[in-house]
Amino acid sequence: MSKSPISPIVLAKDVKKSFQHMGRTLDVLRGIDLSIEEGDMVGIVGQSGAGKSTLLHCIGTLDLVTAGSIVVAGEELTTMSNARLADLRNRTIGFVFQFHHLLPEFNALENVCMPGLIQGTSKNELNRRAEALLEEVGLKDRMNHRPGELSGGEQQRVALARALVLEPKLLLADEPSGNLDSRTSEQIHQLFFDINRKRNTTIIIVTHNAALANSMPRVVTLRDGRVESDERRETRSYRHAVDDVAERAGTGKVDVG
């Protein structure tokens, strides 16, 4: 597979998405334009119900737009068959959700290998990648633990490793720290920054977390299904942003480990 950059990796044009609900049409996305370059790290924020998850699902090929177009890694989603969408999704996109959806009867290593087993990658190669990823997310000593034998933060680390096992160019995360305490959240956030820096993976994160949003180099704010603002910031360290937010909240410094 070619490693040359695809530019932009996500291009959304006038994207609209409506749902039919109890005889009514709900217009959730009302004309979204967005262009995201490979290697970018983008936060999507906005009030509850603004359409953040819906947009992420449409970019991630998990849902279809009602009108407009989305191109991911050079491929126009709106004209693709379900089989081609599934293939693009496997090859190109990793997902991390608030609830990690790990398989309870399999251990961490097996959970990380799972997307590759389904896709037909060799078992040896998968084991090699999964072990390296679990070590990278700090779970070298937990590879044989099942989800029920891991803490919430550890389970989310496994989910992150699983999302990376097929080496996606694009990583989509929906409230990845939504049900974690603040210290564990910060450790998970730091991992996203490390992944972006080390692999140049494009990362889009939907979040309500102020420290995370404040540390992202680009933040897109949605309001009522439209882009209200699209801001680029000077790149700062995540550590720096966490300290700023803690200071403003009057809680002192926060240790991100």
Ligand X SMILES: Nc1ncnc2c1ncn2[C@@H]1O[C@H](COP(=O)(O)OP(=O)(O)OP(=O)(O)O)[C@@H](O)[C@H]1O
Q: Distances from the Cα of 8 to the Cαs of 11, 12, 44, 202, 204, in angstroms?
A: 6, 10, 17, 10, 14
Q: Distances from the Cα of 24 to the Cαs of 31, 116, 136, 148, in angstroms?
A: 19, 41, 48, 41
> Is position 48 an interface residue for ligand X (rule: CB under 6 A)?
yes
- Report in angstroms how near the CB of residue 205 gets to ligand X at its nearest: 12
Among 21, 22, 82, 141, binds ligand X (CB under 6 A): 21
Q: Which is closer to ligand X, CB of 28 or CB of 170?
A: 28
Q: Binding to ligand X (CB under 6 A): which residues in 115-134?
A: none
Neighbour-count burial of 199, counting CB atoms closer than 10 A to its CB (0-12 exposed, 13-18 middle, 19+ buried): middle
Q: Give the three-class secondary structure for 103.
A: coil
- Report in angstroms how near the CB of residue 178 gets to ligand X at its nearest: 9
> Is position 19 an interface residue for ligand X (rule: CB under 6 A)?
yes
Among 10, 42, 54, 184, binds ligand X (CB under 6 A): 54
> Is position 60 an interface residue for ligand X (rule: CB under 6 A)?
no
Q: How many beta carbons lie within 10 A of that of residue 123, not counting itself?
A: 10
Closest by CA position to 229, among listed 33, 8, 29, 65: 33
What sections of 43-107 are H helices per DSSP? Answer: 52-59, 82-92
> Is position 50 an interface residue for ligand X (rule: CB under 6 A)?
yes
Among 34, 53, 115, 195, binds ligand X (CB under 6 A): 53
- List the beta bridge partners of residue 76: 71
> Is position 207 an interface residue for ligand X (rule: CB under 6 A)?
no
Q: Binding to ligand X (CB under 6 A): which residues in 27-46?
A: 28, 46
Residues engaged in binding ligand X (CB under 6 A): 19, 21, 26, 28, 46, 48-54
